[in-house]
């Protein structure tokens, strides 16, 4: 009997099935599928820049004595500044979206790095990239990878239907660890934070997916592997992630991309208005200071802050109007107003506003908004600005002045006497490359065709002065970069 029991036990032991091997397919969760779709388009970004700092010839640190007796620039040390960040390729031509602060060393002249390198997932060699345009006020920059474009890219998604509690994934160069993936949820929507430069970033996505130094500029994706935001900041008492991170909604990113890549100005430029999103503080101020808004239950939309007298919306919209509908679509923030609502070739737009608490609808005629066709030559009535005549920097001008092909800008062909341009000491032959507005968070705008000037006229209508960066040719010196301040007033 004992022999039978032992024999039976041996038979049973050898007849039982072995360990079950789990299939890879059963472990390929929605998170894995989303990461597999997105990660080939994510890039690590590193920059370098030679930085000169004034020093004392006597002591380790510069003192007030040195400032008084020794002019700045006389004694300097040079060191190489570096930065690390992330980005995402968004089209087949190799354009990359990242944060402006990832590829800048301050603002104004000399802020751009000397070298930008990107590393794609699965590659061992870094590629060079250049800045196409950046908007410091939105903390968004557009880069282009030089040479052959990468094969993988992640198109811009949609951030208008995001849900609190929705699963999201952040990918980036976290603390120097390439293509790090973290998972979390959308903790809240519509957050407002103030950056180190004093610029308020509105309507942000808050997430508890770990975002660390180096994640800036990287993608935030949903479970469908769609790009819904660009990671930009964290709230932390320690410098590391504590589960409160912020991303710029992709619908706002699309506006910057459309402007610099597709040459399509957003609706506010075409209307000739400026507006801002309703922060909780601004909403409270409206209710307390404007009686008509006190009893309004749904105080949402975007607030018109300025209307250009020569713009399309002049006489139709007024400062303190609250835009709540565009072509029948409900507007919660400026990010909701995109080309899908108002195509660039639309001839008019229907806008629902709230004025002192009362609703009304207005129809505004628009000019075609696409600037791609006018990249080489802008509107004929647009080449006069602040007393100077401007022309595109075409091949004829490049050959005549032996200008490097990498430089883009507008050539000053004539300057009127006693005009703002004349008083700013601009001269025929100067090549304007950038325009900055000191009162607008020192935002710097590149100019490469006459359409850019038209857009800046509207966007910066209230600026009292501009800073103009330009190249000037001098005998025995060649081309050098200059800057000047110019009054924003009509030619007298």
The CA distances from residue 85 to 63, 116, 234, in Å, are 35, 11, 14
Clarify whether 83 is annotated catalytic. no
C-alpha–C-alpha distance, residues 135 and 441, integer Å: 10
Tokens 């062909």 sit on residue: 413
Task: Give the residues across from 184 on adjacent strands.
Answer: 168
Clarify whether 381 is annotated catalytic. no
What are the start-end ranges of the H helices in 290-388? none
Tokens 């079950």 sit on residue: 20
C-alpha–C-alpha distance, residues 142 and 445, integer Å: 12
The active-site residue, picked from 91, 135, 139, 454, is 139
The active-site residue, picked from 101, 159, 277, 419, is 101
State phi, psi for 18 to the nearest 5 degrees.
-75, -175
C-alpha–C-alpha distance, residues 243 and 227, integer Å: 20
Q: What counts of helices (H) and strands (E) characterise the chain?
A: 10, 25
The CA distances from residue 171 to 135, 226, 227, 235, in Å, are 23, 12, 11, 18
Tokens of 113: 């790095």
C-alpha–C-alpha distance, residues 80 and 46, integer Å: 13
What H or E segment, with its residue span, contains residue 328?
none
Selection from 404, 406, 370, 374 nearest residue 392 by Cα: 374
Clarify whether 216 is annotated catalytic. yes
C-alpha–C-alpha distance, residues 249 and 203, integer Å: 8
Q: Which residues are catalytic, by number?
A: 101, 139, 216
């Amino acid at each position: 009997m004992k022999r039978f029991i032992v024999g039976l036990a041996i038979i049973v032991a050898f007849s039982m099935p072995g360990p079950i091997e789990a299939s890879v397919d059963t472990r390929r969760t929605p998170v894995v599928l989303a990461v597999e779709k997105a990660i080939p388009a994510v890039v690590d970004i590193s920059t370098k820049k030679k930085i000169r700092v004034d020093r004392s010839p006597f002591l380790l640190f510069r003192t007030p004595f040195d400032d008084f007796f020794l002019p700045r620039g006389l004694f300097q040390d040079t060191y190489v500044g570096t930065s690390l960040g992330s980005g995402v390729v968004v089209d087949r031509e190799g354009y990359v979206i990242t944060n402006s602060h990832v590829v800048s060393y301050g603002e104004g002249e000399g802020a751009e790095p000397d070298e930008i390198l990107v590393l794609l997932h699965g590659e061992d060699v870094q590629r060079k990239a250049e800045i196409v345009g950046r908007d410091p006020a939105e903390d968004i920059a557009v880069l282009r990878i030089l040479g052959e474009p990468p094969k993988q890219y992640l198109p811009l998604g949609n951030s208008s239907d995001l849900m609190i509690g929705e699963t999201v994934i952040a990918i980036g160069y976290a603390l120097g660890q390439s293509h790090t993936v973290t998972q979390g949820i959308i903790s809240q929507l519509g957050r407002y934070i103030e950056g180190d430069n004093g610029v308020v970033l509105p309507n942000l996505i808050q997430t508890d997916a770990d975002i660390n130094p180096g994640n800036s500029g990287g993608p935030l994706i949903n479970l469908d592997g769609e790009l819904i935001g660009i990671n930009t900041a964290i709230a932390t008492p320690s410098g590391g992630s504590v589960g409160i991170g912020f991303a710029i909604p992709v619908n706002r990113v699309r506006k910057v991309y459309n402007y610099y890549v597709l040459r399509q100005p957003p609706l506010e430029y075409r209307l000739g208005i400026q507006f801002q999103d309703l922060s909780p503080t601004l909403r409270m101020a409206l209710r307390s200071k404007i009686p008509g808004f006190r009893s309004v239950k749904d105080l949402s939309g975007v607030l018109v802050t300025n209307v250009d007298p020569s713009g399309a919306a002049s006489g139709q919209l007024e400062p303190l109007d609250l835009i709540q509908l565009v072509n029948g679509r409900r507007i919660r923030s400026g990010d909701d107003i995109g080309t899908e609502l108002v195509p660039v070739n639309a001839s008019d737009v229907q806008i629902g506003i709230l004025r002192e608490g009362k609703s009304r609808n207005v129809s505004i005629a628009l000019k075609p908004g696409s600037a791609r066709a006018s990249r080489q030559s802008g509107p004929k009535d647009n080449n006069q600005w602040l007393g100077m005549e401007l022309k595109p920097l075409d091949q004829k001008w490049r050959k005549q002045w032996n200008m490097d092909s990498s430089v883009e800008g507008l050539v000053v062909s004539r300057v009127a006497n006693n005009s703002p341009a004349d008083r700013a000491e601009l001269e025929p032959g100067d090549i304007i490359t950038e325009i900055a507005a000191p009162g607008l968070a020192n935002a710097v705008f590149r100019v490469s065709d006459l359409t850019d000037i038209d857009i800046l006229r509207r966007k910066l209508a209230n600026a009292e002065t501009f800073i103009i960066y330009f190249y000037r040719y001098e005998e025995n010196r060649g081309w050098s970069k200059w800057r000047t301040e110019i009054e924003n007033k009509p030619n007298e």
